[in-house]
Amino acid sequence: MSDENNMEESALAAMLDQLASSNRRQRQEAARLLAAVAETNPDRLLEYADDLIDALDRPEAQTRWEILDVLTAMASVDASSVAGAFDGAETSLFDDTSAAVRLSAFRFLARFGSTGEDASDRVWPLLDEAIQCYHGDPEYRDMLAALLEFCGGNISPVTREALVARVAFDAENGVGYIKAYSSEIVAAAGE
């Protein structure tokens, strides 16, 4: 292993240690740095999936949303490595205190669900409930964008049909971004 790889391993180990720290600010900073790594090199974090999933139980919102963003990036590379995040993501999806946490959980579930038919069937009831709960909320535009990506993935015919049924009313009768995104989702799901 080269010196550069050793330094990267040491840096990742330090971030993971901070992520488990009793200090809130250290956890938040570690989560932020790990999210930056995941943006460019999510496969680099696959071996640490269990530690990252464990971090979904931290009390502060920033750590949770940053880690959900990390897990979202990882799901694109190897969905099976982050399947254990499902329960934590479900809890985060209905977090009453943070819209950022809810949005990151929604993005994770949509990305994870887009990776296979079984995964799509597993996440759809949660996505469907969130669509109903957060319809029109400030984060709803980004949720619709995640749904558009979701329907472009490998989702089951049953989930695809349910998704179209859920957004069809807004595609026909909505206004603004809700109508536009809903129409795009219906069109993309029909392809």
Q: What is the CATH number of the domain that holds 15?
A: 1.25.10
| Stated pTM of the model | 0.94
Instruction: Mark whether 54 and 121 lie in a shared domain.
Output: no
pLDDT of residue 123: 98
State the alpha helices, DSSP H only, in 135-175: 140-151, 157-173
Domain of 152 in residue numbering reads as 114-191
pLDDT of residue 190: 82
Please provide the DSSP assignment of 45-59 as one string.
GGGGHHHHHHGGG-S
Compute the distance between CA of residue 184 and CA of residue 157 in angstroms, rounded to an integer: 18
pLDDT of residue 10: 86
Residues of the chain with pLDDT under 50: none
pLDDT of residue 9: 83
180: Cα within 13 Å, side-chain hemisphere: 6
pLDDT of residue 8: 80
Asked whether the CA dihedral 98, 101, 105, 107 is positive or negative, the reply is positive
pLDDT of residue 7: 65
Angle CA(104)–CA(91)–CA(53) in degrees, nearest 5? 70
pLDDT of residue 6: 64
Residue finishing a domain among 54, 80, 106: 80
Instruction: Mark whether 74 and 126 lie in a shared domain.
Output: no
- Tokens 């969905």 locate to 79
Angle CA(127)–CA(94)–CA(67) in degrees, nearest 5? 90
Q: Are residues 138 and 103 in contact, defined by beta-carbon separation less than 8 angstroms? A: no
Determine, yes or no, domain membership for 158: yes
Determine, yes or no, domain membership for 95: no
Determine, yes or no, domain membership for 45: yes
